[in-house]
Amino acid sequence: MDNLLTKEYDFSGKRSEEPQNFNITTEVITHRSNGKIRYVDIFKLHLTRQVNNYTCKKMLFQHNDKPEVSVPSLENWTYNFDVDSLNNEGIDNQGLMLGIPHTKFEKLRDSRGKKVSIEAQYQIYSTFSYFHSWCNMTPEKYSKDLKKVGEKVVNDLSTVESPVNLGKVFSEGSKFIHGIETIQFKGIGVVDDTVCAIISSNECGGGFNMKMRPMPVLTVKTKGGTYYRGDIYVDLDSLHVKRVQAMVMDITKTTMYGIPVQVAVPVTMITVESI
């Protein structure tokens, strides 16, 4: 173990082309300004990877104690994700954050035929973006300079803004505002008998500005700050991500017609398991 803790590693090496299967769960617990829980949403994504091709096998979600439903339009949807096609801020040449096509998340309906709420639509999109942020951007792009346990890199991304205009509902100008990110080679661990590097990532000082138009005559604006932290377990042989455990906390303020209507604190727990 001493040798594992003192040797040098190369996270920029070629990753195994062996297929992967992932279970991704995001549990969003939204608190009122007095600290009481307003509601709980759980999103489950089953995703497969073959090199740069990803296929959504199933997307499920549940609001509070209501029955779990699926999103049929996302089932067996295959898309390409190539971390090398993105700039250092995670934007592709079309201006899309992480290159994820926004149009796929417009006008979603669940397995009962009901329209998916604006909030759930956004969280479904976020489940994909969380996955690629933690499983691709950090271990494949931002960890290349980490060689030994204990080393860290600090990225000041405070001037970076990522657009999130999901069709007509999330209007032009909706965006993430990044903060200061610290990535550290935290240690060595074991997942399912596989020796893994533990890469920690945290960012503070970021936020978002969302402009929503649920109806043509109604504009809802939500602004807030974001803090996240998490651990990524990377297989030292294949360089594949085996597990992610992360937390994102937002503090949001929503206004309609310029009048404050809600202050909320959503806390999102993210779990990724490679199976």
pLDDT band of 270, cuts 50, 70, 90: very high
Q: Which residue has the tokens 């250092």?
A: 88
Domain boundaries defined on the chain: 2-274
Q: How confident is the model at residue 168 (pLDDT cuts 50, 70, 90)?
A: low
Whether the per-residue pLDDT at 104 is higher than 80: the answer is yes
Q: How confident is the model at residue 73 (pLDDT cuts 50, 70, 90)?
A: very high
* Tokens linked to 219: 């504009």
Quote the CA–CA distance of 194 and 63 in Å, as a whole number: 35
| pTM for the whole structure | 0.89
Tokens of 247: 């937390």
Spatial separation of the C-alpha atoms in residues 188 and 231, rounded to whole Å = 11
* Lowest-confidence pick of 8-12, 81-85, 157-161: 157-161
